[in-house]
Structure 1
Amino acid sequence: MLSSDSDADAVCRHFDVSRESCARLHCYVSELKKWQRRINLVGPGTLDRVWARHVADGLQVIPHLPRDADCLVDFGSGSGVPGLVVAAVVNSGRVVLVESSSKKVAFLRHVARTCGIRVEVRQARVEALDPATVCTGAKRIVLLARALAPLTRLLTLAAPWFAMGAEALWHKGQDFDKELKEATRYWDLDVDILPSEIEGGGVLLHVRSAKRRAQTQA
């Protein structure tokens, strides 16, 4: 597990990130700090721990991605964690960043161009997207999200995606058990709870399938 004071070298070593990918992550961090002066991308109190708190949080998704995943969709990408960070390291398949804020979209597109990270950025609300047109031809879709919404809301947003066979890797904080208990009142879930690599007691929820119970609404 990485400590809160882990630096860039420690994070890149821990996740076995190549020199080229680590250089892209350094570029991302540099741009994040510049843009943070103008728009709120991450909590100001976490900026001095950006590698341990944010970059590592994105990278920890990668070991759990299915090898044949060919379209990753990051709901509410915001600062680029996890989607942009993952794309800086994983160069196969499509990575689609979905963000409704025009300022954050500008940031994501700027970083992608400046740092040479191959992503597609869509300015849209998640619920307005047609999954069939976002990952056209994809055989295995994985949904990503961090600090976007409670689990019941995420499941509602992702329902059309699950209906076409997608799965999800979602960051959740230390109170994830309460969210999971609430969600299972309305949803039948096949979910794995993966301990976080980051200090703080959070988890990754690997939702393999989700089906809303017919008699309830959430």
Structure 2
Amino acid sequence: MTACDQRSVRSLISAGCRILGVPLSGEALSLFEQYGEFLAKWNRRLNLTSLHAKKDLAVLHFLDSLLVLKTLPLNAQSLLDVGSGAGFPGMVLKIAQPHLNVFLLDPNPRKMVFLKRLSSHLGLAGVYFLPTPIQELPLESFSRAFHAVVSRALSLREEQMRKIQKLLSCNGLFISMRGPGSFGDALNSPHFKLASYWAGYLPLLPVYRRVLGYTAAHERRHELHDAIS
């Protein structure tokens, strides 16, 4: 076992953020440490993650989630995390950016219970829970509601992509997190165009990741056509 393997989740995240150039407050680091401990306890009965080693948890969940900050618009106030699972990346982004209103969407009731308990345990405000598939999210409540929608390692169907297009605010960003796979514009949807791109290795582990940001394509033209017709 190396010295890196014996370090705390907090120190691993702190070291990784310095490498990534992502600033974090001491309070955020403390909350991440509590998050890791809380997840470890709940994971014994809910199997929320297959990662157990502190280094894997810190790098492959927390630091990986923080990569979203490489493309997240600076003025973003609301974010929807599609398929939040154990809170990655949505809950992590809330801790890193306390001003964000974060909506965690996951149809799994057991995971939703965990997310609610975690939010309460960490004393977070501005976190909202949506226990539903994205295709059932009501547009009358959430049309153009989000400055950013993020999906981490989740394969979305075309009907779901059309829904995301309608959920994004004007100039909003859909952020897709991907592994090595194919390069370039990896999102095969006519509803979006690539607007931002980050690629590189995670700190402390040789894992290659890409974070791609998309804006809705031809949105004005579609809305004008609808208004005329």
- Name the TM-score, length of structure 1 as normaliser: 0.80
Using a 3 Å threshold, how does the CA distance of structure 1 residues 134 and 150 change in structure 2: closer, same or farther? closer
2:178 aligns with 172
Which of these two proteins has the greater Rg computed from alpha carbons? 2
Is the 8 Å Cα contact of residues 135 and 141 (structure 1) preserved in structure 2? no
Query: What is the match of residue 193 of structure 1?
Result: 197
RMSD, aligned CA: 3.0
Instruction: Give yes or no for contact 2:194–2:212 (8 Å, CA) kept in 1.
Output: no
Match of 2:11 in 1: 9
Unaligned stretches of 5+ residues in structure 1: none
- Does structure 2 conserve the Cα–Cα contact (< 8 Å) formed by 1:171 and 1:204? yes
Matched-pair identity in %? 20
Relative contact order higher in (CA < 8 Å, ≥ 6 apart): 1
Paired residues of 1:21 and 1:88 also in contact (CA < 8 A): yes
* Contact 1:155/1:210, CA 8 A, preserved across alignment: no
TM-score by length of 2: 0.77
1:56 aligns to 2:60 (yes or no): no
Query: Which runs of no fewer than 5 residues in structure 2 stay unpaired?
Result: 223-229
Instruction: Say if 1:12 and 1:133 are closer, same or farther in 2 by CA, change over 3 A.
Output: farther
Most deviating of 100-109 and 56-65: 56-65
Tell me the distance in 2 between the aligned counterparts of 1:18 and 1:35.
26
Sort the Cα spacing of 1:178 and 1:207 in 2 relative to 1 into closer, same or farther, 3 A: closer
Contact persistence 1:196–1:204 (CA under 8 A): no
Kindly tell me the number of residue pairs found equivalent between the two proteins.
Answer: 206
Spell out the pairing of 1:1-218 with structure 2 (5 A cutoff).
Answer: 7-13=9-15, 14=17, 15-44=22-51, 49-118=56-125, 119-131=127-139, 133-134=141-142, 141-150=147-156, 155-162=161-168, 165-177=171-183, 180=186, 183=188, 186-187=190-191, 189-198=193-202, 199-210=206-217
Instruction: Kindly report structure 1 stretches of 4+ aligned residues shifted beyond 6 Å.
Output: none
